[in-house]
Chain A
């Protein structure tokens, strides 16, 4: 009888337990999950939707840009509660056309071939000109 699958699965189970145990003991018995991070990201977006709906045009445009472009330095964006507070909007009349500039601080996942996720503080700059498509510029804040 081949016992290899049982032994292997027991090994995986034990190694998982061993890897969780030190973290769980540090966190006071709680097993760490990514739930809190995901909840915080969702909360931050809700803050944007509720408090600064005028920023949403830029949020949508930057997400489209990140998903649709290989040249973007980030391949994913996420927002914090401070994004709503630090967002900046200005309007000017350039060449007879209304030009709206929106600046939001967020976090961007750097586009790189790596097992580790590298999230950097990012600045999203959107320029909207009446009758034209949105222009998005992403940069890392050092």
Chain B
């Protein structure tokens, strides 16, 4: 009896070792990066795993940590909100490509004003955030909204200092319409705000304050509009048009941005195009050109290729790129370790 049990135990252990060593258990795609992309990558991963039996994992991390972990070969794909410059990418041997777009909307808590009725632009928004405009019935706001009767309540600007590209690109939009904003607070994802000090710690906390306080004004990623039932406004783009925030406008603007962006400093703010939504943020993917773990890197490329070719929609109101937008970058990830040009064999003496 005991002998049989020991035999079964040994067989079980051997089976476990064989399974752990098998291709199915070893194969996996390990992704690290921004929390914004977490739900989307998990959803894409589930879809890919059910098709191929290749496991996909996602770990949320800070920007620098994500890139460093990718560089040392712990992970296969890093997702960051702040892209690296071209010379830094070259130095680290990384490939970078845009993958997802996060629409950024301006939201208000104004009683009696329906969603998307209010119109604002960068100049007026900057004046509200610096304290030059203190009341909602200020002539500066009324000039943009002649058909609305604006309440005489104080403006409460709410901001977050969360290190995200959402915040950075919102300040970039403010700087595009106000010289005083560009010269003093400048651009930043963790600014000391002129009126709000350090600001809220993240977008969720800011959204909760926006819900609670009448007369408040803030900026949020598009997903929080439905999550917290916030009221959005129409924003003026680079061409002077007032645009209503819709999924169609976000997707169209992102496509225009991808087609027009040249150079590593292009930001998706005031993208030049008809009906272009003025503020977007982009999540970039980074991979090693010569991967530490070539099979895993190839599976990562396979996952992105399959998901993008099948047009699997991302979650949380994000917009994804098309496969054709990243195909060239993905082809740079080597399928075998080759360092430098191949050596020619010497023939003869």
A56 touches B64 (CB 8 A): yes
A49 touches B263 (CB 8 A): no
- Interface majority SS (helix, strand, loop, mixed), chain A: mixed
Distance of A49 Cα from B175 Cα, bound (Å): 23
A-chain residues with CB within 8 Å of residue B192 when the two chains form the complex: 85
Does B108 reach chain A (CB closer than 8 Å)?
A: no
**Of all chain B residues, which has the CB nearest A49?**
B64
Does A11 reach chain B (CB closer than 8 Å)?
A: no
B82 touches A130 (CB 8 A): no
B87 touches A54 (CB 8 A): no
B168 touches A97 (CB 8 A): no
B-chain residues with CB within 8 Å of residue A133 when the two chains form the complex: 87
Distance of A25 Cα from B88 Cα, bound (Å): 49
Distance of A130 Cα from B265 Cα, bound (Å): 6
Task: Say which one of B134-142, B180-188, B290-298, B305-313 lies at the interface with A.
Answer: B180-188
B-chain residues with CB within 8 Å of residue A57 when the two chains form the complex: 84-85, 88
Q: How many residues of A contact B (CB 8 A)?
A: 24
- Interface majority SS (helix, strand, loop, mixed), chain B: loop
Distance of A116 Cα from B82 Cα, bound (Å): 39
Distance of A52 Cα from B192 Cα, bound (Å): 11
A130 touches B264 (CB 8 A): yes
With known contacts A84-B190, A88-B186, A91-B175, A56–B85 Cβ distance under 8 A: no
With known contacts A87-B188, A89-B187, A90-B182, A53–B62 Cβ distance under 8 A: yes
Query: Least Cβ distance of A79 to chain B in Å?
Result: 13
Q: How large is the interface on B (under 10, 10 to 19, 20 to 34, 35 or more residues)?
A: 20 to 34
Query: Least Cβ distance of A133 to chain B in Å?
Result: 5
**Of all chain B residues, which has the CB nearest A130?**
B263
Distance of A56 Cα from B161 Cα, bound (Å): 16
A134 touches B87 (CB 8 A): yes
With known contacts A91-B172, A98-B265, A128-B265, A54–B187 Cβ distance under 8 A: yes
Distance of A110 Cα from B81 Cα, bound (Å): 35
B-chain residues with CB within 8 Å of residue A142 when the two chains form the complex: none
A-chain residues with CB within 8 Å of residue B182 when the two chains form the complex: 90
Does B213 reach chain A (CB closer than 8 Å)?
A: no
Does A3 reach chain B (CB closer than 8 Å)?
A: no
Contact with A along B247-271 (1 / 0, CB 8 A): 0000000000000000111110000
Contact with A along B178-210 (1 / 0, CB 8 A): 000011001111101000000000000000000
A98 touches B62 (CB 8 A): no
- Pick the 7 closest A-B CB pairs, nearest first: A51-B190, A130-B263, A98-B265, A53-B63, A89-B187, A130-B265, A49-B64
Chain B contacts to A: CB under 8 angstroms: 62-65, 81-82, 84-88, 161, 163, 168, 172, 175, 182-183, 186-190, 192, 263-267
Chain A contacts to B: CB under 8 angstroms: 49-54, 56-57, 60, 84-85, 87-91, 97-98, 100, 128, 130-131, 133-134
